[in-house]
Structure 1
Amino acid sequence: MAAFRFNFGKEEADSIQGEQGPPENTEPAAEIVHRPQPGIAFFTEKASIAEGLALVKGIISSDEAATIFSDQRIAASDLLPGKYEGGFKLWECSLDLCKTLLSRYSVAPDRVLTDSELTTDLKGTKVLELGCGHGLPGILALMSGAEVHFQDYNHEVLRRLTIPNVIANMERLPRSRPRPATRYFSGDWRLVGEHLTSRGYGGHYDLILSSETIYSVPAQERLLECIKQLLQPPHGVALIAAKRYYFGVGGGTKSFRNLVEEDGIFEVSVVAQVDDTASGNVREVLMLKFPASIHPYFL
């Protein structure tokens, strides 16, 4: 797996920071129905999650991503504001989030692929992964018995990567293992929350997952508003995995914690931490939950 990076230098980072208003894509949020695409090769490799467990992930190069979006700028950048949010990359913090799911929800990694019945604390829960990309945290929750909905800004990412990843991993399970439901949604977070709460999709989730999505302050604000719309009170939990700082674009777990605390709706804490000595940064998993007394916003 390639090391985490936002593939831009200082000048491009400054440009991105200046463009971080509402995305150019103003299409309504939409549900993506899986339709097989014959003739499109799907190459995979394994991503190690823990001892005894590796998940399958698709391989889509930067050049292929540029072709899919008909934009050669994507071949040289992991992020193109308003058009592409890096969904074809596997970011390090998504693996951190998978490890957190294993530990917090009593998922035995060596049993995920083998047991005909898997007992976990995720069984029967309703989960949403926001900005899913490869969707490995959501896939792990699905394999552990949760109903999972996947959301990404780009429908191309869902069709060409997320859905094939889900299928490839679920095919590895024992045939007798129940297959919980999945759904897929594309669109900006400002529209997704309203879409899911107003179109008969059930609207609220026991667990919301997201990784490497709070790299900028505007992204943080949109993500928090979406979580406020969709997290089920009083016991719903959101787990957000990211780096402490994203140099050049102003985001990270430190600024996101400040935003959540100032907003006052959720309690926020660090539940996992990885010191990345190679980059001089720290990767963290944050937990958002409702306080003991529910905020009037939700009454």
Structure 2
Amino acid sequence: MADGAEPAFRFNFGKEESDKVQEEQGAPEYNEPAAELVFRPQPGIAFYTEEVPIAEGLSLVKGIISSDEAATILSDQRVASSDLVPGKYEGGFKLWECTFDLCKELISRYKVAPERVLTDPDMGSELQGKRVLELGCGHGLPGILTLMCGAEVHFQDYNQEVLRRLTIPNAISNMERLPRSRPRPSTRYFAGDWRLVGEHLTGKGYGGHYDIILSSETIYSVPAQERLLECIKQLLQPPHGIALIAAKRYYFGVGGGTKSFRSLVERDGIFETSVVAQVEDKASGNVREVLMLKFPAAIVPYFL
């Protein structure tokens, strides 16, 4: 387990509650309207942080918000004892292991020199100038990493309060650590259900499509997978855009994981999918994977 991460992703309920959640998944009430957030500091609200190692030579800052605090912020005491309250909360205030796997994949794929991220005034990488969207961002560390490397980044989470109280302060705290001469790419923040967010971003003059779409620990259930895939289909830029999805092979008790998500993507037929990184978690008996979704090579000539 990576330093600073919560224990292995699990939902804090027993078998009876697990069965109930699975029964309710057929028609989840995810209908939070899409909206863009404009950040306004809230005086008197403390923001406590800690550093977490991302790679050798690079640590990022993340906020610390307990389950009890999250329950107070969301005005729902169920959040204090459960990481999944359908239609209300999906663990956004916690930091899960697959976030680190996704950050490492970004560093490797886009030739980021970790030791230069916080110190080099002329930091350059293949992320420079990319348009990036992180879906279900929570802490937002993968998106923040790409932002620090020169990408324009949009962050999305179902809950507005997760963005206000965690994602945005995390982004500000990390960007403040960069050399003053480093350009600051633009960021935007969006809350709401994935299907509604997809429609919002394609219809409101936001540019519509992204070179890279990121998501971590979001495909734990079949309904979540279906909503995420629909959003990616709406927003990924053809022909060369890619989506990187970090998750566990199985999420016991809720039925999702990378194996079932790959099957869904293959049945849908829009994207090719492959495993680009894999970590065996011996402690949990599970496997963490990073999946890549891309447009099939056969369609690329039609977009050129």
What TM-score do you get using the length of structure 1 for normalisation? 0.97
Candidates 230, 237, 246, aligned match of 2:235? 230
Name the residue aligned to 2:248. Answer: 243
Alignment partner of 1:56: what SS? strand
Alignment partner of 1:233: what SS? coil
Structure 1 residue 205 corresponds to structure 2 residue 210: yes
Contact 2:159–2:192 at 8 Å: present in 1 too? yes
Query: How many matched pairs?
Result: 299
Correspondences of 1:100-139 after superposition (within 5 Å): 100-139=105-144
Mapped to 2, the partners of 1:188 and 1:23 lie a distance apart of 11
Mapped to 1, the partners of 2:299 and 2:268 lie a distance apart of 14
Task: Supply the AA of the counterpart residue of 1:277.
Answer: K
Contact 2:213–2:243 at 8 Å: present in 1 too? yes
Measure how far apart 1:18 and its partner are: 1.6
Structure 1 residue 62 corresponds to structure 2 residue 91: no
Contact 1:23–1:83 at 8 Å: present in 2 too? no
Name the residue aligned to 1:4. Answer: 8
Contact 2:8–2:284 at 8 Å: present in 1 too? no
Mapped to 2, the partners of 1:213 and 1:20 lie a distance apart of 14
Mapped to 2, the partners of 1:226 and 1:25 lie a distance apart of 14
Name the residue aligned to 2:294. Answer: 289
Candidates 149, 156, 176, aligned match of 2:154? 149
Mapped to 2, the partners of 1:279 and 1:92 lie a distance apart of 12
Contact 2:244–2:290 at 8 Å: present in 1 too? yes
Structure 1 residue 215 corresponds to structure 2 residue 220: yes
- Shift >2 Å, 4+ stretches: 21-27
Name the residue aligned to 2:21. Answer: 16
**Percent of residue pairs bearing the same amino acid type:** 81
Name the residue aligned to 2:179. Answer: 174
Contact 2:32–2:158 at 8 Å: present in 1 too? no
Contact 2:211–2:242 at 8 Å: present in 1 too? yes
Gaps of 5+ in 2: none
Candidates 262, 267, 273, aligned match of 2:278? 273
Name the residue aligned to 2:86. Answer: 81
Deviations along 1:184-210, whole A, 9 cap, x unmatched? Answer: 000001111000000100010000000
Mapped to 2, the partners of 1:67 and 1:141 lie a distance apart of 31
Gaps of 5+ in 1: none
Mapped to 2, the partners of 1:122 and 1:276 lie a distance apart of 29
Deviations along 1:22-58, whole A, 9 cap, x unmatched? Answer: 5435232000111111100000011110111010000
Deviations along 1:35-90, whole A, 9 cap, x unmatched? Answer: 11110000001111011101000000000001011111110011111101110000
Structure 1 residue 46 corresponds to structure 2 residue 51: yes
Measure how far apart 1:21 and its partner are: 4.1
Mapped to 2, the partners of 1:18 and 1:116 lie a distance apart of 53
Contact 2:243–2:292 at 8 Å: present in 1 too? yes
Mapped to 2, the partners of 1:222 and 1:260 lie a distance apart of 12
Contact 1:98–1:140 at 8 Å: present in 2 too? yes
Task: Supply the AA of the counterpart residue of 2:279.
Answer: V
Alignment partner of 1:49: what SS? strand
Contact 1:66–1:73 at 8 Å: present in 2 too? yes
Candidates 262, 265, 276, aligned match of 1:260? 265
Question: What's the Cα RMSD here?
Answer: 1.6
Alignment partner of 1:294: what SS? helix
Measure how far apart 1:290 and its partner are: 0.4
Task: Supply the AA of the counterpart residue of 1:252.
Answer: G
Alignment partner of 2:84: what SS? coil
Contact 1:207–1:236 at 8 Å: present in 2 too? yes
